[in-house]
A and B are shown apart, each in its own frame.
Chain A
Amino acid sequence: MPNKTFFWFFLPTGLAMILFIGLPIISTGIQSFYAQHDQVVKEVKKCDPFGCTVSIVVDNEETSKIREAKPLGKFNGFGTYTDRNHLAVDEIKKFWNETESFGAFVDQVTNLPFYKALIFTLTYCLFVTPNVLLLGFIIALSLNAVARKIRGPLIFGTILPMIVTPLVGSLVLFWMIDSQGIIGANIQNLMNDPYLSLKSSKTLTWITIIIYGIWHHSPFAFVVFYAALQTVPQEPIEAAIIDGASRFQRIKHIVLPHIYPVVTFVALISLMDNFRVFEPIIGFSAEGSAQSLSWLIYDNLVNEEVILFGSAAATSMMTIIGIAILLAPVLIRTWKEFKTAR
């Protein structure tokens, strides 16, 4: 396609992307460098049905004057990024100087909200993505091998987890693992421990969410792999069969190299999706044991009665940077291949 044609072809999409993705990200970026103005408070008398007290309120007249002068807030530079609830630079320095062993240092650091969330997010990505790829590929291969007649219903059944709304899917599992639910109660019986609870143990909660993640995302990998399998040419496979190659060898040397670009694509998309893990934490009411970066943003925006725009914006920017770092190796590789192919 000539460059000019491509340009006109891409223009509407490009404009929409700038308008709905680019500009909001820039605005979020700017917001993250600002904090609220110093609050002007005053002492007043407050009366309610339970009596009167002297207490403080925000002085709205004074505050609105300051706000009109500088509507964005107080410039804070990287202040929000480096505070305790984000990168916690000062705290980490302090821990490094104060703690005696490396283990104690790690303990202290992982107790900070941002790092706690980052560790869960990375663990989730690390376990879910490869398993999704593997499981999706195995299902695609098996379904490709069954008789055509029953393939339709089987495919439908397989993609069901993806059709079910994430929140509903996680709620169903949430109730099943309740200490009186079918899975929870049986595990208690098996382990002979009436105090065992999948929901109160941090490790078990993480495992549950990871299993849920694999269950929910595998169909996506399956659908793409299944489509790719349809394009595998039959001749080399027949030739391999005649040469006496086993099923495993055929897959390793013919099928996998053929669908390799698709594997890269699925890996990229899954990594991006998994890094933004959010719904299962809400669905499983797992805020206590598992927090992800997306959950931190949500928490800053809605869980407080005071909305923390600066905090949420800073975490958003760091999530974007995090995804970019994660994807970098795969992207660089694709780019190199693209260049050699030309």
Chain B
Amino acid sequence: MRKILVTLLFLLFGTSAFADCNIKSGSINILANDFPALRTFVETSKQCKGSADFKVTHSSEHNKIAVPALTANPSEFSARIAANSSIVPLMNQDLIRPLDDLVKKYGKGIQDSQLITIDGKVMAVAFMANTQHLYYREDVLKDMGIAVPKTYEEVVAASEKIRASGKMQYPYAAAYKAGWNLAEEFVNMFIGHGGEFFKSGSAEPNINNAKGVATLNMLKKLSELSNPDYLTHDSEAIKVEWESGNVALMTLWASRSGTLLDDEGDPNITKATKLTGPATVGGGNIPAATLWWDGFTLAKNRPDADAEATFRALAHAASNKKMVADAADQAVWLVEGFVPGPKSIGVIEAVKMGAKPYPMLPQMGLMHGALGSEIVEFLQGKESAEQALKDVEAAYISKAKEQGFL
């Protein structure tokens, strides 16, 4: 716990060793998600490319491309910017290479805390942290005399009060789009209730219980306070809702705060937009949120020369003090020299409150997928919570059997 805080807050000390940038050969091809911080990161690594060939693909569909592209031999990409969840399928299929030697040779500026080690081997180098937390409209809450909510129960009460006043019809927003987003909200809320997704030491599901029911009921309460189209709203859509001034309380990714607080849009709304930590739920003391890291991994099916060139370029960015100083607004960087600004409050609060990381288990993707489609009918009021959870477990079990996990 202390180690984490130290990592996040006091990255100022230490020697300033920049990655060596004299790459002579090899070719670099990076696959990454598409948001500002990652673009900055990749741009920074490009400065160091030397005479190596440099290509990058930024795509929000990165998850769909990654496994097939890295399975090919030689692989299409030499590096993949992954996160807690997306590194798992790469690990399951044995598509990424250990980085120990490269870290030893070229990773001078990279801090130990940035290394993702699995079974003693470095499999990824993290450079930023992310989570979902609360955003609120200071002006609206002040007018109504509402304190900044700390729990989801308070979020519900505050939203009901705002709706009753007639000020806003749908005062709450979160990315509830059926599929990955909705499942992610369930994961957050379930962890907030202290739930464990699997029976300990096995891949047997463990969500059809009182915690699961409480999770679904809270999601339903919140959905009733949201725009009725909530099942089609992803992070981008609720950002637009917020910027149109329709929403006073919102759960959104920390990495989106940059575009939310930029100069575009109504300056009054931007000025009144404040960030706070994630809320807790059901009297629990850990937040109903998951911690995420973004880091780079190197493809296994690529010549060593390419891996070396790619590592050197990316390590240059992952230890770049100038980048984290210039782009301090874009993300909570895990890189040495980062000074957290006002836009980092969400992640730092989450860490302080003891938020758990997203479960990095081989079968978690199947559970996430089953959640995304099977809890919709409960939110639409067509099914009981117990039935929905039973469906999730049944759908998960069939898929896990096919994949050989059960």
Contact = CB atoms under 8 A, between A and B. Distances in A.
Nearest to B355: A50
Given A49-B129, A83-B402, A85-B395, A305 B63 contact: yes
B394 A49 contact: no
Contacts of B368: 304-305
A280 interface: no
Interface in A290-341: 291, 299, 302-308, 310-311
B398 interface: yes
Main secondary structure of the interface of A (DSSP, over half): loop
A304 B365 contact: yes
Nearest to B228: A197
A286 B380 CA distance: 13
Nearest to A298: B64
A311 B402 contact: yes
Interface string A59-80: 0100110000000001010001
Nearest to A301: B64
Interface string B127-161: 00100000000000000000000000000000000
A111 interface: yes
Given A37-B404, A306-B366, A111 B92 contact: no
Nearest to A202: B380
Instruction: Tell which of B126, B229, B372, B397 has the most Cβ of chain A within 10 Å.
Output: B229
Interface in B348-391: 351, 357, 360-363, 365-366, 368-369, 372-373, 376-377, 380, 382-383, 387, 391
B401 A83 contact: yes
Contacts of A174: 232
A37 B404 CA distance: 5
Contacts of A41: 362
Contacts of B231: 199-200, 285, 288-289
Nearest to B71: A307
Contact of B119 (A39, A44, A83, A200): A44
A189 to B, nearest CB: 14
A63 B94 contact: yes
Contact of A111 (B113, B293, B362, B383): B383
A196 B397 CA distance: 36
Contact of B114 (A49, A76, A304): A49
Instruction: Tell which of A48, A83, A284, A291 has the most Cβ of chain B within 10 Å.
Output: A48
A48 B229 CA distance: 37
A307 to B, nearest CB: 6
A330 B240 CA distance: 49
Contacts of B404: 35-39, 74
A91 B368 CA distance: 23
Given A36-B402, A49-B334, A304 B118 contact: no
A191 interface: no
A51 interface: yes
B116 interface: yes
A188 to B, nearest CB: 9
A250 interface: no
A332 to B, nearest CB: 36
Nearest to A188: B228
B377 to A, nearest CB: 8
B155 to A, nearest CB: 20
Interface in A13-57: 35-39, 41-42, 44-51, 55-57
B177 A285 contact: yes
Contacts of B85: 305
A304 B369 contact: yes
Given A113-B373, A179-B229, A303 B401 contact: no
Closest 8 CB pairs between A and B? A305-B365, A288-B178, A197-B228, A44-B119, A60-B94, A285-B232, A304-B369, A288-B376
Given A49-B334, A310-B402, 4 more contacts: A46-B117, A179-B229, A288-B178, A306-B369
Interface of B: 1, 3-4, 7, 63-64, 67, 84-86, 88-89, 91-92, 94, 113-120, 126, 129, 169, 177-180, 182, 227-232, 291, 293, 334, 351, 357, 360-363, 365-366, 368-369, 372-373, 376-377, 380, 382-383, 387, 391, 394-395, 397-399, 401-405
11 contacts: A46-B118, A47-B118, A48-B126, A50-B291, A56-B362, A85-B395, A111-B387, A111-B391, A197-B229, A288-B178, A308-B402
